[in-house]
Structure 1
């Protein structure tokens, strides 16, 4: 009888690949993991305000990350998300639409992985943030308004054959909201041995919406009694959308508080995990920024001011209701990035800001606890 050749041998099969890209991905993830392990978790500080007896205030200080902001966590997650989905490989150009802090952190990780990085941002972005992006080897591409960043970033990614990190879509997807050392898990772990370990409220602002989505989901996942209040600013679509339920809401002008407030409702903004929203004037945000900076002896940014004013408003509501307990908010970044704007008297004057009434009201509240901080 003749020898029978197996059917599979009648067709040429490709050789096994060398999997060079997979090897690069493994090395890249090892670098990102090593960087994370070298960085201790951020502090949860507890400033004392005489007028708020019975209400413990905690501030999660994200400014101590290696790139100086809350966005360090997001940037690492976005890069990992791109690698693990096979979208980022050796030599891939990373592109982002950003008002600054996310791009600073992404430029840091791009340099760590030896990848090109391009940030698309409004021309009004603070000079300090631009310099930090460039210091990490990134390149900045400017557009006239914040509404233009999305299309420009997508176009550059196509042109370069790169990957659009797209924080506004992927922020809520790239972060594991159930844990894995996200900001929510960190906050509640650090609160565990406090007198009131389960906060009455977590109060924060929204930029991509990713952090509020993570915290809101985590609270529900852990079956905690904590509620989430999100504070919006002028020239932002989030608050109006939350009130109306219309996710197509837009805003013509861009926010003057860098890093938060958006001209459209971003895909990562999840209103259904938020328990309450308020909107406050930009002058209140900046006044609160100055007041908190003086109270903790170092400068914070404008988005932190928004958070702090919102936290004080919640505290005022608790006092009126005779409630006690703990409140948590976030220090998003350092005020060092805003010396030419929010901490510059000439700039504030040119913008028409009068912070004095807001500053006086907040100082009186923190010292005496007797002022109604209602926001119309």
Structure 2
């Protein structure tokens, strides 16, 4: 039996949330993002007509659409609205995966025995629209890849159903850029040999594609042929990651405690980004010398960014550490996790900050976490010459 996988996407989510709170924003070119040196987090369809796109520098967007209105954005509002939509879907869906703050997958395989799968999905989408006021698009097909591509093709006017026997016919004429794994570099590489449509890519020998692109070549070839067995991962907000530090000697050194906390945040934030998680709840834990234990917790807009999480952790530490006794343990926990990558969802971001995160994460992934760290969070001994040579041998250049 073919699977029935639904992809749901909240249309221009940040823009739609802003328009719910201010009807004067309806029908005008609208950009949600940072200041002059920031980037576009989201934009309305009216702005897209001028060529404005997400992740574009604000300065470039304003040149393309000088009459656009720019709003800094309210991630607390967006997180709340995302949570409201999640609750509606979770109540009805047999299996729900929250892929990001505005994107969901549902596995409704077998439901057609009791309901028409498309009709049931459409009714659920209408329930979201009615109860939240947010527009939502969806597509129904046999796997995540086809459903996600179909949602993009159906926006903003229609929802698509792509049955198994029509999958290849649907995919063939589309640009290879529609495949989720195909980025700019891969597109340019394949374009140089004349591969621009999915049909051409699907008809290539998988081995040739793998030789050209590497380990992802086979996965891209499968997606071009409508093959994707990735399961819908049940959504849960109970997941968390955490770390603790028990000191060899109890301490009251505030500067030292804050350095340790900074290092913890940097480590956990890197883990979030590496595993493609975003957190919505931050907790700081302390244990005094007499073993009394206290915690403080705060909700944040979904993020995996060091500078946002560091600020929250330090604020919580100031609130929880009130007795000025020696501490034997401190810890940090990030919970309320959802799947998602660090996209342009922080409205103070600049191109420099985004480039910095990408560069640091690349170095950490290749050479180990402590290959590059913020000075304030570093509390390790410098590498010896032997250690540097050993690491170089373990991680030779390709």
TM-score range, shorter chain: under 0.3
TM-score between the two structures when normalised by the length of structure 1: 0.27
Structure ranking higher in strand proportion = 2
TM-score between the two structures when normalised by the length of structure 2: 0.26
